[in-house]
Structure 1
Amino acid sequence: MTKLTESQSQAIEAAAFRRLLNHLDNNKQVQNIELMLLADFCRNCLSRWYMEEANAQGHDVTDAQAREVVYKMPYSQWKENHQLPATDEQMAAFNAKKEAKNK
Structure 2
Amino acid sequence: MAIDDKTRTELEAAVFRRLVEHLRSRNDVQNIELMNLAGFCRNCLSNWLKEEAEAKGAAMSKDESREAVYGMAYETWKSTYQGTATPEQLAAMKKAHSGH
TM category, shorter: over 0.9
Higher relative contact order (CA 8 A, sep 6+): 2
Displacement after TM superposition at 1:98 (Å): 2.6
Aligned residue-pair number: 99
Letter in 2 for 1:20: L
Matched ranges for 1:50-69 at <5 A = 50-69=49-68
Q: Which residue of 1 aligns with 2:89?
A: 90
Relative to the length of structure 2, the TM-score reads: 0.95
Deviating runs (4+, > 4 A) in structure 1? none
Distance 1:15 1:97 in 2: 30
- Tell me the percent identity: 47
CA RMSD of aligned residues (A): 1.0
Match of 2:27 in 1: 28
The aligned counterpart of 2:36 is 37
Supply the distance in 2 between the matched residues of 1:32 and 1:98 (Cα, whole angstroms): 13
Q: Distance in 2 between matches of 1:96 and 1:46?
A: 21
TM-score, structure 1 as length reference: 0.93
Distance in 1, matches of 2:70 and 2:31, equals 11
Measure, in 1, the Cα distance between the counterparts of 2:72 and 2:28: 15
* Structure number with bigger Rg: 1
- Unaligned 5+ residue runs, structure 2? none
Which whole-Å CA distance do the structure 2 matches of 1:66 and 1:97 have between them? 25
Secondary structure, counterpart of 1:30 in structure 2: coil
Corresponding letter in the other structure for 2:53? A
Match of 1:12 in 2: 11
In structure 1, runs of 5+ residues without a counterpart are none
